[in-house]
Structure 1
Amino acid sequence: MDGIYGPLIQNAVITRQQNIRELEVTGYVDPDTWMSLGFQCEVRPKLAQYIVRPGILSMKL
Structure 2
Amino acid sequence: MVPKVDKNKCEGIGACAESCPTDVIDIEADENGDLKSVIARPDDCVECGNCVDACPTEAITLD
Higher helix proportion, which one? 1
> Which structure has the larger Rg?
1
Higher strand proportion, which one? 2
TM-score calculated relative to the size of structure 1: 0.28
TM-score calculated relative to the size of structure 2: 0.28
